[in-house]
Amino acid sequence: MPLVEVTYAPHVPEATLRELGAVLPHLVSVAVECPEEPYDGDLRPGDVEIRFRQLGPLDRSGLDVVVEVRSKWFESRAADRQQRTDQLHEGIEAATGLRDFGVYLSLPVAAWSQGD
């Protein structure tokens, strides 16, 4: 279950952010898919959590948008994490037209629990 935080500059249009929010669940799921957590294309509540945060007056960023993905560490994910990150970046660019953005993939040792 990936957690995604999107940090964006105040001038990024809301329509762009809405489009990003619409495509991220699938794109992130494809990017972090692995044998231990396969992606069947059927996202359910809690599968991908996305949070949007506008840059504040004291924040510093040279990019319009930064997409930070945190997903549980598995050796199969870690082995090709740069390829996964590049694939996610390309997918976001193709789906939204964003140009000035970055993608950060973090694979911490973690656990997740969720009720029905």
| Mean of pLDDT values over 31-54 | 93
Q: What is the mean pLDDT of the chain?
A: 94
Residue 2: the pLDDT is: 93
Closest by Cα among 65, 110, 109 to 89? 65
Give the integer Cα–Cα distance in Å for 116 and 111: 17
The answer to whether 51 and 21 have CB atoms below 8 angstroms apart is: no
Residue 100: the pLDDT is: 96
Q: Whole-prediction pTM value?
A: 0.92
The residue behind tokens 């990024």 is 12
Residue 54 pLDDT class (50, 70, 90 cuts): very high
| Mean of pLDDT values over 58-82 | 95
What structural domains does the chain harbor?
Answer: 3-106 (3.30.429.10)
Residue 55 pLDDT class (50, 70, 90 cuts): very high
Residue 65: the pLDDT is: 98
Residue 10: the pLDDT is: 96
Residue 112: the pLDDT is: 74
Q: What is the pLDDT of residues 89-100, one digit of tens each?
A: 999 999 999 999
